[in-house]
Structure 1
Amino acid sequence: MRAAILISVWALSPATAYALEADAVVGTWRLVTATRKIVDTGETVDAYGGPKPNGWLNYDKDGRMMVICSYEGRERPVANDKMTDEDRIKLHKSFFAYAGTYKIEGDKVIHNIDTSWNEAWTGTSQVRNIEYKDSVVTLTTAPFKFNLDGKMSVITLIWEKYPRS
Structure 2
Amino acid sequence: MTSHPPVSAPHAAPRGDGDAATITGTWRLVSYEVEVRTSGRRFPAMGAHPTGYTIFSLEGRVWFMLTGDGRVPGDSDAEMARLLETLIAYTGRYRIEGDDWVTEVDVAWNPAWVGTEQRRQFTLDGDRLAVLTPWRVMPNWADEGESRSIISFERVER
Structure 2 CA distance for partners of 1:123 and 1:20, relative to 1, 3 Å: farther
| Runs of at least 4 residues off by over 4 Å | 15-21
1:130 maps to a residue whose letter is F
Whether contact under 8 Å (1:63, 1:101) holds in the other structure is yes
Once superposed, what is the RMSD of the aligned Cα atoms?
Answer: 2.1
Tell me which residue corresponds to 2:34: 36
Q: How far 1:146 moved relative to its partner?
A: 2.0
Instruction: Verify: 1:136 aligned to 2:136, yes or no.
Output: no
Structure 2 CA distance for partners of 1:17 and 1:107, relative to 1, 3 Å: farther
Q: How many residues align?
A: 142
Q: What is the TM-score of this pair, normalised by structure 2?
A: 0.82
Whether contact under 8 Å (1:59, 1:66) holds in the other structure is yes
Q: How far 1:18 moved relative to its partner?
A: 7.8
Q: What is the TM-score of this pair, normalised by structure 1?
A: 0.79
Tell me which residue corresponds to 2:94: 102
Please give the alpha-carbon distance, in whole angstroms, between the structure 2 residues aligned to 1:70 and 1:19: 33
SS at match of 1:104: strand
SS at match of 2:82: helix
SS at match of 2:112: coil
Q: How far 1:148 moved relative to its partner?
A: 1.5
Higher helix content, 1 or 2:
1
Gaps of 5+ in 1: 1-14, 78-82
Q: Deviations over 1:143-162 (max 9, x none)?
A: 12223122321111101001
Q: How far 1:73 moved relative to its partner?
A: 1.6
Please give the alpha-carbon distance, in whole angstroms, between the structure 1 residues aligned to 2:18 and 2:52: 23
Please give the alpha-carbon distance, in whole angstroms, between the structure 2 residues aligned to 1:126 and 1:149: 20
Instruction: Verify: 1:157 aligned to 2:151, yes or no.
Output: yes
1:32-111 alignment, distance < 5 Å = 32-48=30-46, 50-77=47-74, 83-111=75-103
Point out the more displaced range, 146-155 or 128-137. Answer: 146-155
Q: Which has the larger radius of gyration?
A: 1
